[in-house]
Amino acid sequence: MKNKEYRYVYKKKRYIIPFLFILFIVAFRLYLPTLAKNYVNKVLADIPGYYGQVDDIDIALVRGAYVINGMYLNKVNAQTQIPFLDFPKSDISIEWKSLFKGEIVSEIIMSNPKINYVLEDQQTEGENPNIDSWTNALTDLVPIEINHFEVHNGKISFQEVSSEPNINLHFDNLELTADNLRNVIEKELTLPSPISATAVSFGQGNMRLNGNMNLIKEIPDMDIEFALENANVSALNDFTTHYANIDFESGDFNLYSEMAIADGYLKGYMKPLIKNSKLIGKDDNFVETLWEGFVGFFKFVLKNQKTDTLATKIPLEGNLNNVEVGAWKTFTNILSNAWIEAFKGVVDDDIDFKDAFNEDKKKK
């Protein structure tokens, strides 16, 4: 009789223990999104000088992923309610193709992210941490190293809301891809990580960026080309009116640039071009018309008459902590464009990574 009771109790325990274990796993799985949300909110709350939170987190254990929904970040003493970072959806998952190479790394795909740099918010008094304070915190939200990064339909804007008129320069429809960030593939390359991006700028211009980087360094190395073409220059009127008291009736704004960084030393240039521009508007008052006429005279003298282009090439070189702008060279380039040979509306392709990798220059 006792043996039968013992076997009955034993069988009962044999089923109860697995049942309790399964119940624990299910309960933990149900609580996991809340646990992750609380952790993320704590990380965001601990960033010096900033505050932020997330709305929700979805967990997908099957594909080794979690999705952060409705994350934003702003300065504690911000004058506006415009979020500095507004990330509606960030999908963070294991990059499965790298598992076949023996590496456990992650990939991030962001949908509709916005970065709003509001000048007044960033210049508020009080604690003013550097960029590492929030970039490092966001990186800590990813449990394993990031190797692949995508942005779809992003937006980057610079705003100055207290100026008259308000300034809002922005890039919309941003599509960005960066790969091999942790150097899983092609480890022998000096710049192993390709990056490319396109966007629509202010004035409906077309922006493109291409290049290569090495992010596995305290100061990343890179070789980047940038082009902004065919933006309606009148979209800059809020900016130029506020800072120079001039506005454009029509014209095309273009900007070309190359930048190379090696061991913290930068060499590059920016080449702005304004084509077919017209300054004076019909509704300007006498003082505005007089000033724009004065500016227009120098624009006429300094522009290339054959191509109707006002342009220069601004050289940049130096340690990242003290980059020097070649002011005299910038001025002579204006004269060169006007009177000798017009600058071409293309990336010049005259900056190479090896130009920045110069030991003699870095010692100066």
Angle, vertex CA 284, rays to CA 280 and CA 288, nearest 5: 80
Task: Round to whole Å and give the CA distance between 27 and 245.
Answer: 64
Full-model pTM: 0.77
Residue numbers of the domain that contains 67: 2-363
Domain tally for the chain? 1
Confidence at residue 104, expressed as pLDDT on a 0 to 100 scale: 74
Q: Give the dihedral sign, CA 21/27/30/34.
A: negative
Cα–Cα distances in Å, from 146 out to 63, 153, 183, 260? 16, 20, 10, 23
Confidence at residue 297, expressed as pLDDT on a 0 to 100 scale: 40
Span 73-126, pLDDT tens digits: 888 888 888 888 999 999 988 887 776 666 778 899 999 999 998 888 777 655
Span 101-116, pLDDT tens digits: 667 788 999 999 999 9
Span 242-287, pLDDT tens digits: 776 777 778 888 888 898 988 888 888 888 888 877 765 545 554 4
> Residue 71: is its pLDDT beyond 50?
yes
Span 136-145, pLDDT tens digits: 777 777 767 8
Report helix angle 327-339 to 286-302, nearest 10. 80
Angle, vertex CA 60, rays to CA 58 and CA 62, nearest 5: 175
Taking phi over 0 as left and psi of -120 to 50 as alpha, with beta for the rest, 146 belongs to beta
The phi and psi torsions of 130 (rounded to 5 degrees) equal: -80, 180
Instruction: Say if residues 155 and 171 touch (Cβ distance below 8 Å).
Output: yes
Confidence at residue 88, expressed as pLDDT on a 0 to 100 scale: 95
Higher confidence at residue 33 or residue 171?
A: 171
